[in-house]
Structure 1
Amino acid sequence: MGMMRVLFMSMVLINVGGQLVENFYSSTCPHVEAMVKQAVSMKFIKTNITLPATLRLFFHDCFIEGCDASIIIQSTTNDAEKDFPVNLSLAGDGFDTVIKAKEAVEAVCPGIVSCADIQAIAARDVLVLAGGPSFTVELGRRDGLISNKY
């Protein structure tokens, strides 16, 4: 699990074109991390594949176009990132964890928190639930608008 932690933590620190900061949503959605943690915890309790699926989703998203949640985009005009064969297995639990967290956040803070930030928080939270270290996730990522399979 040591190598997985190093890879994950390096992805969390990737800057995708803006300044990432602690407490990015402190005035616009102050409880975002607690809401994501609650949603991730509920999913983690239900199934033992939440940990690997959520981490893998984050990993695959970050290594294509940066940590922009473009892996979640459903395209109607082309094959999206999520349609790439190695990502098809993420369609269940990996996507579901982030989608549940996004729904919880949207219910309280509609249109404010990016899926990319929710995905980063969820990946950290699932790692902590599995007994890994806790750390601050700097926020301020922007969601991608385009997703391509290649």
Structure 2
Amino acid sequence: MHLNYFAARVAGCLILGASLPAQAQEIDGTTLFNDNCAVCHAEGGTGNPGFAPPLNRPAFWQAMDAPTDYVAAVVIAGLHGTMTVDGQMYAGLRMPPLPQIEDAELAAIATYVAGELGETEADATVESVAAVRAELPDNAALMAARPAE
């Protein structure tokens, strides 16, 4: 009897989960950003002066043709060099590559960064992230792709 009750509850949960709206089942870019990126860039992408630049800079993202592709490339390949962001120098900046982040999760993170923090209409897809991963630019190309600040 107890086993039947347990099986019925599990089945009920599975049915409920399958019937949730698609939006509730989508991957949340904000949560993924907070779990993977906020340790350096802080929640909301406000950055850590001298350590990790802020990402909540709409003018920066709006100046790019493909901001979600840039986010995906930087996350997959990492980024290093010296840059000045909002008057703050980031010398010896070294963002580690995170190629283990799956394409669907990276699409959600890129959409959050470029779309929400960057206030753009950019929307990354699994396919766009896979395309970036297949033809990954090198560090020099990523640094050159940054809009002047």
TM-score category (smaller protein): 0.3 to 0.5
Which structure has the greater CA radius of gyration?
2
Normalising by the residue count of structure 2, what TM-score does the alignment of the two structures yield?
A: 0.33
**Between Structure 1 and Structure 2, which shows a larger proportion of strand residues?**
2
Greater relative contact order structure (CA < 8 Å, 6+ sep)? 1
Normalising by the residue count of structure 1, what TM-score does the alignment of the two structures yield?
A: 0.33
